[in-house]
Amino acid sequence: MNLYSLKMRASKSQDGIEKHISGAEKITGEDSLFIYSKALLTRALYHSKGKADFINIKIEKVNQEDILFLDALPVTTVNVSSYQDGIQKLLAMLEKIGITNASAVLEKLKDTYNMRGAMLLNVDTLERLEPNKDRGIRATYMDEVNSVMKKKDTKDHYNEAIVLATKVAYAPNIIGEICISDDPDYVTGYVASKENGYMRITKLKEMGSEDGGRIFLYRGDHSKVQDCIDYIEKREVLVKNISSILNKPYKTEESTKNKWNFIDKALENLKYNNLYRTMNEIKSAQSAHVTFQGKEMIMMASNNYLDMSNDSQVKAYALKAMGKYGVGSGGSRLTTGTINLHNQLEELLAVFKGTEAALVYNTGYMANIGIISALCSKDDVIFSDELNHASIIDGCCLSKAKIVVYRHNDMNDLEDKIKQNPCSKGLVVSDAVFSMDGDIVNLPQLVEIADKYGLFSMIDEAHSTGVIGENGRGTMEYFHMTRNPDIIMGTLSKAIGSEGGFVCGKQELIEYLKNKSRSFIFSTSLSPAVMAASIKSIELIMDEPQRVQALQENIQYFCNCLREAGIEADSETAIIPIIIGDEKSAMEISRELFEQGYYISAIRYPTVKKGCARLRVALMSTHNKDELKRAARVIAAIVNRYKRMREYV
């Protein structure tokens, strides 16, 4: 069997500077070249560090007589609770392999963050030895024996790292290697040496950070530097016995007998990084004022935008339905769980949204994953806004379609991506109002582009229904559109004040989803009281548009009050983000607001990007002008104080 070396390098231009995105390689047989080439190309195109605009794939025949077979380094896993603890472990490991200036060596790792390869460092003089300081040294021509034999085409960070570490450990004059992953989705790293093996550390940075790099640790006569580089970059190596090592119980510095260790450590890490989440118990109805921890507070974080969940008419109608139909539905919609209220609500939703038909789901999340996974499959392409809600993202992943992410609300980028990714069937999907930013999708252009290329168009109207448009009917009314998107998804749990999700569209779409959407088919239906509450709420929105107008007036008034107080604010929706930046400050500001009687949530990573933490103010139609003006002043005073503190520091 002929063997080939297959290499991939991917980068993108950022502010005029080439930024490394991904690199990988294989040694494989001729019959697997296409499979691996496609796998590496996919990795380059859909990396968590962004999409590459330059991808280089190189294929070379390998002389099998030149291949060096090496036994994989033994593996040790060191569990730590925080990245600070991980760094201390790393320093101790460097000292263990004979490095007396470990802190100075580790400091050099920062210089590798923007390099395309690894640094070659003289550990005694701290002199950099690589000929090209921008390129660095690249370990190439290597793979795992089993990967060559078994056509294993999936990405495996762990195996690939052990292969590279093993090859480098046997290089002339190399006494060890340091590596921290630059992938924002991975926080691990390792120290490797021929004497002590591959020592994996579970946390060496914060989740979401792209800081990472690699140093090859050199000791000895400089006359051997070129021999070392030639070995690392040119010698063909296959590593044996990785599978047998990884199938054995890991050696660890902590007991692995307790299967709950990883959960405890994960929770500790969340707390340390101000990302730990808890639930607040409210002891009153969800309304403009709530009782929390024994005191009345102004609720400015709820999605109950029209205060329908506490409306007397809505509650009375739900109570009446419960008296007649009972408290549960007794089954799924396709067995015993459909009563006349379910059909009545779906007919009303279709009228409200101006479509032929509608279908109710148990939640908005279940609607999105059920709709998208039913419509798309592995041969299709989904074009998704980069700020779409998690339920849309999860629906895309469940579908197994190719996912192409376009820049936020950028219709030019959307069209470019469609041209670059032609397909026979595809979907363009976007939030209508983005849940963390409050901005509105450019729906006319989105629908026009989707129609132009023969793609389905879908929007999620969770935060636009009952909020925008003259009568609260959502994005189509807001833009005065006569052509609806193909698929209109929404929720009953926000401005409508009840529970559930829905989809509106053509009758054939609804019939298809009844038969193909798993989250609809395999769920017990919502209770009669919930159906009744949704019906009455929608009727009130349709009959009393002044409720929507009161909300829209509050939005405009509150934004003006914030601007007068020195806070940037511009929103046409009930969601008004106030960007803070770091997670700790956002949490502290939110706590101060709670103490002063304002229930305003801090939104942190991973809901928003790292370093983009914010206060998410959500208004209701029943807030009065005086309390909104006072709230704006209090928010501005606290936020501006924290800004001054940061500037001082």
Catalytic residues: 435, 463, 494
Compute CA 142 distance to the chain's CA centroid, rounded to the nearest angstrom. 32
Our CA angle for 636, 640, 646, nearest 5°, is 155
CA distance 344 to 495: 19
Choose among 32, 56, 33: nearest CA to 44.
56
Q: What is the spatial distance between Cα 189 and Cα 364, in angstroms, rounded to a whole number?
A: 38
Rounded to whole angstroms, the Cα distance separating 110 from 88 reads 16
d(CA 19, CA 10): 9
Give Rg (Cα) of the chain. 29
3-state secondary structure (DSSP) of residue 573: coil
What's the order of all strands across the beta sheet hosting 119-122?
A: 119-122, 213-218, 174-180, 189-193, 197-201, 75-78, 251-252
Q: CA 64 to CA 2: how far, in whole Å?
A: 8
The amino acid at residue 503 is V
Total residue count of the chain as it appears in this document = 649
Token duo for residue 622? 């029943």
- Alpha-carbon distance of 45 to 55, in angstroms, equals 9
Q: Give the sign of the dihedral formed by CA 445, CA 413, CA 392, CA 471.
A: negative
- Angle among Cα 142, 148, 151 to the nearest 5 degrees reads 130
- In the block, tokens 């969340």 appear at 270
CA dihedral sign, ordered 311, 312, 313, 315? positive
Tokens of 289: 């004022």
The structure tokens 């040496």 sit at: 193
- Which residues are CB-neighbours of 277 under 8 A, at least 6 positions away? 270
Under 8 Å between Cβ of 410 and 416? no
**Bridge partner list, 71:** 240
Copy the structure tokens of residue 91. Answer: 């320093």
Peptide bond preceding 606 in cis form (omega within 30 of 0):
yes
The vertex-491 CA angle with 490 and 493, nearest 5°, equals 165
620: nearest Cα among 567, 575, 563: 575
Instruction: Fill in the DSSP letter of residue 525.
Output: P
Burial of 645 (0-12, 13-18, 19+ CB in 10 A): exposed
CA distance 307 to 302: 9
Task: Convert 240-288 into a string of H (helix), E (strand) and C (coil).
Answer: ECHHHHHCCCCEECCCCCCCCHHHHHHHHHHHHCCCCCCCCCECCCCCC
